[in-house]
A and B are shown apart, each in its own frame.
Chain A
Amino acid sequence: MNEARLHELSEKLIGSEIKAELLNLFHMNPGILDTVESIARRIGRMPKDVETEIATLVELEVLRKERFGDLDIVSLNMEKDKEIQRKLAELIEGGAKE
């Protein structure tokens, strides 16, 4: 049971190389407040490749996307990120006990 939920959550979070790169970027640099174009540049990717992955992480509420003036600014949702990390840790711990 735990293993299935863990698999589902991790699949959503790091189901692709780019999503894993994005999560790593934001965990290492939680102070990033930037546009999709600049974030793509920071991980050495093209904006079109990063856009959908950011959208998925925004859907999961790990990232925030807010409009300011004529710019969409992406940042890490620290509370939600901590909550997901806690959930993952619980699932991993639970899986180890089973």
Chain B
Amino acid sequence: MRALTGISELDSMLHGGFMRGDVTLIVGSAGTGKTTLALQYLVNGATKFNENGLYVTFEQMPAQIYRDAASFGWDIRKLEAEGKIRVVCTSPPVLVQFIESRSPIDAIIDEIKAKRIVIDSISHLETFIPPSVLRSELYRVVNHFKMKGLTSVFIAESHEVFGNSLVVTGTGLSFLVDCIILLRIVEIKSSLRKALTVLKIRGSDHDKQLREFEITPQGIKIAAAFAQYEGVLTGAPRKSFTEETVSAWTKAFVGKT
């Protein structure tokens, strides 16, 4: 029923992983860890859960992905040689075309018996496919993956690093996908930290907290919630006026009067 990401804290937040056959959107600005999270989902699938996966990249070259993955101890070339993971580098029109006729991408999905797929990134589709047909083409891609029984992760780049507004994507993709994970950089005490939250899961409850996370040499590690802060999603949170601070304030000033 569920496809575990293998990141235990995230699986808890998702109440047991992604719903099998669902499409999850990972949204974040540059440097938030979208690719790392998606790769970790594929690598864990192949190494821990016996679920092979396909990584489709439009811009980043596979050589760069192999190198970046190696820094987390993930040997993608070895997993490719074992037929557990494949990295395909292509362009958006090829991805859309492959649904119309049996193409090498479909052949790879069948060959490695892929259960997981990552598309990096959906933002590139927006630059190649006319806006008038983009949503319907995305709808077709989403449904094609569902019909093939794949649990998919789409990466979307958010141009806004900080700010009050939150636009997930400009294409209405957030309505087509089943789950949305938002990654955001926040400034706390003059240092940049990373926040993760699950915005929605269709048909399931989930943890609604904003959690701090780090990119460690082993991959994504999710920590506790930003309990003492408000406005974290704006990128510039302020400390909450907690019961603890109210009590300290009362003791310090009110009690003296």
Interface residue? B243 (CB, 8 A)? no
Instruction: Check B91 against A30 for contact (C-beta < 8 Å).
Output: no
- For residue A59, which residues in chain B have a CB less than 8 angstroms away from its CB? none
- For residue B80, which residues in chain A have a CB less than 8 angstroms away from its CB? 31
- For residue A66, which residues in chain B have a CB less than 8 angstroms away from its CB? 104
Chain B contact residue count (CB 8 A cutoff) = 20
Given contacts A29-B61, A42-B61, A73-B104, contact A34 B97 (CB under 8 A): no
Instruction: Check B91 against A69 for contact (C-beta < 8 Å).
Output: no
Q: How far is the CB of B157 from chain A (nearest CB, A)?
A: 19
Chain A contact residue count (CB 8 A cutoff) = 17
Pick the most buried of A29, A31, A33: most chain B CB atoms within 10 A of its CB.
A31
Interface residue? A32 (CB, 8 A)? yes
* Complex Cα gap A69–B106 (Å): 13
* Residues in B74-120 with C-beta less than 8 Å from chain A: 80, 86-91, 93-94, 97-98, 100-105
Q: Which residue of B lies closest to A71 (CB)?
A: B97
Interface residue? B63 (CB, 8 A)? yes
Lowest 10 A-B CB distances belong to which pairs? A38-B91, A29-B62, A28-B63, A68-B103, A69-B97, A31-B87, A32-B89, A31-B88, A69-B101, A31-B62
For this complex, 11 residue pairs linking A to B, each with C-beta atoms less than 8 Å apart, are A29-B63, A32-B62, A32-B88, A32-B89, A35-B93, A38-B90, A66-B104, A69-B100, A69-B101, A71-B97, A73-B94
